[in-house]
Amino acid sequence: MVNQLRIFSLLSLLLIAQKAMSGESWIDNILSSPVLGIPIVSYSPETSWEFGGAVQAYFVCEGQDKMSVVQAVGAYSLNNQWYIRPKGTIYAGRKNNWVINFDLSYRNYPNIYYDLGNDFVLKDGKSYGSQQANMRCYPLVNLPDKWYIGPHIHYLYEQTSFTPSASMLGIGITAQYDSRDLIYYPSGGIFFKTSLLHYESLNQHFSRLQSIQTDLRHFVPIYKSLIFAWQLKTEWTIGQNSPFQLIPAIGGEDLIRGVRAGMFRDQAMMALQGELRFPIIWRVSGTVFAGIGDVYNLTNWQWRTPKVGYGVGLRLKINKSNINVRFDVARNNLYKSWNTINSYSFYFTTIEAF
């Protein structure tokens, strides 16, 4: 399932067509509304075309200086996939005392499974049916010097057509550092988050496991609205007989764009990506990006050619919190010919990849 809400709507087309380059307009007033309801038309290689609707609420809690967002989305794709997903990030308490993150979803999602490992020659996927419920929550308390810490709870249930049902409960801790000036499109600052979770199988079909995740992002202002952003992300899963849904993977709309999501999956994942963000005109900006990464088995570490994704994109700012509609075109290093459909990817979505 997609990691972020995807939106490419008629409302966005109206924005592009608007001739006014400055000043308030009726479209500006709509986008400045605290509650925004919009249709969804999106595309990615994992879903094909997708149609649905979304409601997003933006607000600032009393005593806060950061924007909170709560959103709910439902969509159906031409691959016969559908899902509903409420999620949000709420900054609460005086002086940003708390950050409450939650992400709930239910999906009926036919998909493609790829065998574990980083050998591209072996990547012949097979289709499977899936029904999944996913619940994640981690409230973080604010510590001095922009640090946050708190408990992390994750529950996953999935019934697939080729594996036993997975019912896994993970409990752990998350620590976070955040000096970004803006949350959704920073022009400067550092974001760091690390999580340690212990998972138990509630139906005894899989063994217990531990998951360690680390995410480091740095946003470097170069000149005015010219920004260089980079991210280093790692994930490690320790345990045998683990459900593949909890095993680290690369690819998709957020991590190594251009590589199909889930094509490469194993016990350890490491990825580095960066992009140059630059203004174009009015609310429109652009980006040039590239990423490199791979997955590895902890007991049989095999070095392969790293997986590379690169491309260009356009951004359209849709509100005053600098939330963007984004369109990315990406290519990978796995296929030499542009005539191969898996050699490139298109993404319509909102929220930056990182």
Tell me the pLDDT tens digit for each residue of 115-164.
899 998 756 788 888 899 999 999 999 998 999 999 999 999 999 888 88
Question: pLDDT tens digits, residue range 163-218?
Answer: 889 999 999 999 999 999 988 889 999 999 999 999 999 988 899 999 999 999 99
Q: Give the C-alpha separation, 117 to 299, whole Å.
A: 12
Q: Give the C-alpha separation, 185 to 160, whole Å.
A: 37
Is the CB of residue 273 less than 8 Å from the CB of residue 215?
A: no
Q: Is 233 exposed, middle or buried (0-12, 13-18, 19+ CB in 10 A)?
A: buried
Question: pLDDT tens digits, residue range 53-98?
Answer: 888 888 888 877 777 889 898 989 888 889 999 999 998 887 668 8
Domain boundaries, position 279: 10-350
For residue 88, being part of any structural domain is answered with yes
Per-residue confidence (pLDDT) for residue 133, from 0 to 100: 96
For residue 148, being part of any structural domain is answered with yes
> Which residue has 């009393």 as its token pair?
62
Please state the rounded mean pLDDT for residues 8-14: 39
Q: Which region among 5-9, 110-114, 198-202 has the lowest average model confidence (pLDDT)?
A: 5-9
For residue 5, being part of any structural domain is answered with no
Per-residue confidence (pLDDT) for residue 122, from 0 to 100: 58
- CA pseudo-torsion sign 48, 51, 53, 57: positive
Per-residue confidence (pLDDT) for residue 177, from 0 to 100: 97
Whether pLDDT at 28 is above 90: no
Tell me which of 162 and 249 has the higher pLDDT. Answer: 249
Model confidence at 11, in pLDDT bands (50, 70, 90)? Answer: very low
% of the chain residues with pLDDT over 70: 85
DSSP state of 265: E
Tell me which of 12 and 49 has the higher pLDDT. Answer: 49
Burial 164-200 (b: 16+ CB within 10 A, else e): eebbbbbebebbbbbebeebbbbbebebbbebbbebe
Number of domains comprising the chain? 1
For residue 3, being part of any structural domain is answered with no
Q: Which CATH number do you get for residue 34?
A: 2.40.160.50
For residue 337, being part of any structural domain is answered with yes
For residue 39, being part of any structural domain is answered with yes
Cβ neighbours of residue 204 under 8 Å, at least 6 residues apart? Answer: none
- Give me the chain's average pLDDT, please: 85
Beta carbons within 10 angstroms of residue 126's beta carbon: 10
Please state the rounded mean pLDDT for residues 238-264: 92
Tell me which of 344 and 176 has the higher pLDDT. Answer: 176
For residue 343, being part of any structural domain is answered with yes
